Amino acid sequence: MTAIAVSDAKASLRAELRAQISTLPAEERLRATDRILDQLENLPEWQSARRVMLFAPAPGEPAIDRLWSLRGQRLAGKQVYYPRVNGDGLEVRHIVSPAELQIGRFGLREPNPERTEKCDPALLDLIVVPGLAFTAEGVRLGRGGGYFDRFLAQLPARIALIGVAFRLQLRPTLPEEAHDHRMTRVLVD
Q: How many Å separate Cα 125 from the centre of its chain?
A: 14
User: Please, which pLDDT band fits residue 30 given cuts at 50, 70 and 90?
Assistant: very high
Q: Which residues have CB under 8 Å from 147's CB, separation 6+?
A: 83, 85, 88, 89, 90
Q: What's the chain's Rg over C-alpha atoms? A: 16
Percent of the chain past pLDDT 90, that is, above it, reads: 72
pLDDT of 72 above 60: no
Q: What is the pLDDT of residue 119?
A: 96
Query: Which of these, 150, 141, 146, 142, lies nearest to 173 by C-alpha position?
Result: 141
Are the CB atoms for 176 and 155 separated by under 8 Å?
A: no
Class for the domain spanning 3-188: alpha beta
- Of 64-68, 79-83, 133-137, which range is least confident? 64-68
Instruction: Please write the tens of the pLDDT for every residue from 118-151.
Output: 999 999 999 999 999 999 999 999 887 889 999 9
pLDDT of 84 above 90: yes
Are the CB atoms for 187 and 164 separated by under 8 Å?
A: yes
pLDDT of 177 above 60: yes
pTM of the model: 0.92
Are the CB atoms for 184 and 162 separated by under 8 Å?
A: yes
Distance CA 140, CA 101 (A): 26
Q: Which residues share a beta bridge with 17?
A: none
Are the CB atoms for 38 and 74 separated by under 8 Å?
A: no
